[in-house]
């Protein structure tokens, strides 16, 4: 069947009242925020070219329905929402069925194509995972373990720890640089001051709050190493600004998770992250101190770094193909700063 027909079939499973209730966030049946957002997004989209194999669509529908009847019999009214989302994610959005915050799947975007690797994937027939686009973690995990072992050998244990946590947090690439080899660009700071990003003078994460270029350089040089990390996102189209905003939100969340893992295990560290801070609805800058100073991740550009240059030096891709966006961050640390597990 044409994917556009499948989209119509999924949408027509819901009445006008059910759509209105979804929009207002008060559906009669229990619907997760992810499922609600996916369905509302599906209704807005008009661009699903290609075909989905009838047999696969039918088989997935039957598998999900059977699963729900067996494990969630008390909420029959909610089943069609779940089935609709499984069909939409698999055949239309072409992404894993479950949200990343639930199964913590990893993504790898290269040349405008995404691959997903799910640690919760159940092997064997009869499970919904059989239909999911996610692959098992095996191949990705062994490649990363080999890279981490090589990092431990060539750079040291602190670098290996940071790299392992970078991957665990969901980032796709990592590269290590000596801070002494870094360049700090006044013209990048001038671009900040031009306020094209609309972050300048708006938060504690951007200039002027992060200090002068010289102060930023001194802070960076107080560490021995900079580990650059990145994550790429496939967009419905490159002008979809709401998808870019969502991707940025995910990137920031992953960077905060990375900070939470590293802070107790390194004596000192600083995490820089793509652009400014959008954590609070209204930033306290400049009247009061930041609400989360421990977790504040200053802007990597605000420190005067040219990210394309850093990516090249670190040997990781700056761009990942058509209709993608790639965000960057960095961990600054010292090789002798790894705390033993008891400290
Ligand atoms: S592989 Fe299975 S658990 Fe993972 S996202 Fe897909 S359906 Fe969900
Ligand atoms: S965490 Fe909140 S207060 Fe702190 S810089 Fe970000 S937006 Fe401002």
Residue 186: inside a domain, yes or no? yes
- pLDDT for 19 beyond 90: yes
pTM score of the predicted model:
0.89
The reported pLDDT for the residue numbered 79 is 96
> 166 and 290 share a domain?
yes
The reported pLDDT for the residue numbered 1 is 93
pLDDT grade, residue 119 (50/70/90)?
Answer: very high
Residue 171: inside a domain, yes or no? yes
Question: Which residue has a Cα nearest atom 5 of ligand 2?
Answer: 204
- pLDDT for 73 beyond 60: yes
> 175 and 54 share a domain?
no
What average pLDDT score do residues 2-6 get?
Answer: 95
Pocket test for ligand 1, best of 87, 88, 93, 96 (most atoms within 8 A of CB): 96
> 92 and 148 share a domain?
no
Q: H helices of the chain, where?
A: 3-11, 16-23, 33-44, 54-71, 79-87, 100-103, 138-154, 157-168, 186-194, 213-221, 241-262, 307-314
Distance in Å, CA 276 to ligand 2 centroid? 9
Number of residues in the chain:
343
Give the pairing of strands 225-234 and 324-333: antiparallel
Q: Is any ligand 2 atom within 6 A of the Cβ of residue 225?
A: no
Question: Which residue has a Cα nearest atom 2 of ligand 1?
Answer: 129
The reported pLDDT for the residue numbered 309 is 97
Distance CA 290, CA 286 (A): 9
Distance CA 127, CA 115 (A): 20
- pLDDT for 339 beyond 90: no
> 197 and 279 share a domain?
yes
Residue 197: inside a domain, yes or no? yes
Range of the domain at 222: 144-337
Q: Is any ligand 1 atom within 6 A of the Cβ of residue 106?
A: no
Distance CA 176, CA 227 (A): 4
Among 99, 127, 158, the domain boundary falls at: 99
Residue 205: inside a domain, yes or no? yes
- Which of ligand 1's atoms lies nearest the C-alpha of 128? 7
Residue 220: inside a domain, yes or no? yes
> 159 and 306 share a domain?
yes
Domain count, the chain: 2
| pLDDT tens profile 166-225 | 999 999 999 999 999 999 999 999 988 887 888 899 999 999 999 999 999 999 999 999
> 173 and 305 share a domain?
yes
The reported pLDDT for the residue numbered 205 is 95
Q: Is any ligand 2 atom within 6 A of the Cβ of residue 166?
A: no
Distance CA 329, CA 342 (A): 29
| pLDDT tens profile 242-279 | 889 989 999 999 999 999 999 999 999 999 999 889 89
- Ligand closest to 133 (CA) is 1
pLDDT grade, residue 338 (50/70/90)?
Answer: confident
Question: Which residue has a Cα nearest atom 1 of ligand 1?
Answer: 121
What is the chain's mean pLDDT, rounded?
A: 94
Residue 317: inside a domain, yes or no? yes
């Amino acid at each position: 069947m044409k994917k556009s027909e499948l989209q119509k079939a999924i949408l027509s499973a819901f009445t006008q009242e059910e759509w209105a209730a979804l929009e207002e966030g008060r559906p009669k049946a229990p619907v997760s925020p992810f499922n609600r957002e996916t369905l509302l997004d599906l209704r807005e989209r008009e661009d699903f070219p290609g075909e989905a194999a009838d047999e696969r669509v039918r088989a997935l529908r039957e598998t999900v329905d059977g699963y729900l009847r067996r494990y969630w019999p008390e909420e029959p009214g909610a089943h069609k929402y779940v089935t609709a989302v499984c069909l939409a994610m698999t055949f239309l959005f072409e992404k894993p069925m479950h949200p990343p915050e639930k199964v913590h799947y990893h993504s790898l975007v290269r040349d405008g194509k995404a691959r997903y690797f799910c640690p919760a994937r159940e092997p064997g027939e009869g499970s919904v995972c059989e239909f999911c686009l996610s692959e098992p973690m095996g191949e990705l995990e062994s490649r990363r373990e080999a890279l981490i072992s090589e990092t431990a050998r060539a750079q040291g244990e602190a670098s290996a720890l940071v790299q392992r946590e970078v991957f665990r947090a969901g980032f796709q690439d990592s590269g290590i640089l000596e801070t002494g080899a870094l360049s700090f660009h006044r013209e990048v700071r001038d671009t900040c001051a031009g306020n094209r990003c609309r972050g300048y003078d708006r938060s504690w994460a951007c200039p002027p709050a992060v200090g002068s270029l010289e102060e930023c350089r001194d802070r960076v040089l107080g560490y021995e190493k900079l580990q650059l990390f990145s994550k790429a996102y496939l967009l419905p189209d490159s002008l979809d600004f709401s998808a870019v905003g969502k991707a940025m939100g995910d990137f920031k969340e992953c960077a905060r998770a990375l900070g939470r893992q590293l802070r107790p295990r390194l004596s000192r560290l600083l995490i820089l992250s793509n652009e400014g801070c959008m954590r609070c609805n209204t930033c306290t800058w400049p009247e009061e101190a930041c609400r989360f100073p421990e977790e504040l991740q200053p802007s990597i550009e605000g420190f005067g770094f040219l990210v394309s240059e850093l990516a090249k030096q670190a040997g990781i891709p700056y761009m990942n193909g058509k209709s993608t966006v790639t965000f960057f961050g960095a961990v600054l640390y010292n090789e002798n700063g790894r705390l033993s597990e008891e400290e």
